[in-house]
Amino acid sequence: MGELRPEVVIHTAYLQSGERMVDVNVAGAGNVARAAASVGARLIHISTDFVFDGRRERRGYSEDDAAVPITDYGRAKLAGERAVADAAPDALIVRTSLIYGRDTPGPHELMVLDALDGRRDVAFFSDELRCPIMAAELAAALLELGRRPLSGTLHVAGADTVSRLEFARLVALFHGRDPASLRSALSSAARPRRPLNCALDCSRAAGLLTTRLRGVQAVLGAGVPSAGHSLH
């Protein structure tokens, strides 16, 4: 930071599991925030929809809703948010959702393709709801936010709320594959505890940004190369 003297820092690093998860997500986030503050740089810190418990049945979570994580990852990310806010009170904390690449598939899409090709045995939950956002559109939104003197918390995710199963089917269709072979699963007592409805209310971001945050159905559906299969 001292060498480059950046005006804006966008902090995206995280770990979702493993022995170093808390170190990276909490201590690491605080370190970046202190370093940014030391050179007067604005900080945009990326967080997650997993800071919520997912018990809401209908509407999405807004920035004003209490964060009550129920997973180790969610608890670490919320602690990271607080470490950032303590070290850099003017930081902007951006909570987002499942990120996908579309033309350059990301990990979530590759998991779907591996399941379709028999490389992985995966069941996609029909009751776990997210608001997937394409990486390029999230990046554009973050760059736009970097030019705005905003602080606090902001939700930036895609416009559609879909289940993990619906997302997997859209990925399959986009790549010209038959989604019928994808296995679905419901919650069960044997399943690791995870939040269900993690939909984010992004109306505040929509009113601030010129970057359009499209829904996954528009992004992937518009590029489906084959009309031979139906999502439903």
**Residues marked as catalytic:** 73
Report how far residue 77's alpha carbon sits from residue 83's, in angstroms, rounded to the nearest whole number: 10
Q: Which has the closest alpha carbon to 138: 30, 60, 216?
A: 216
Pairing of strands 99-100, 133-134: parallel
The tokens 């997500």 sit on which residue?
25
Q: Is 101 within 8 Å of 134 (Cβ atoms)? A: yes
Q: Burial letters for 87-123: b for 16+ Cβ neighbours within 10 Å, e otherwise?
A: bbeebbbbbbbbbbebeebeebbebbbebbeeeeeee
DSSP letter for 26, please. I
Bridge-partner residues for 197, per DSSP? 129
Q: Is 124 within 8 Å of 164 (Cβ atoms)? A: yes
Which tokens sit at 14? 């995280």
Report how far residue 130's alpha carbon sits from residue 142's, in angstroms, rounded to the nearest whole number: 20
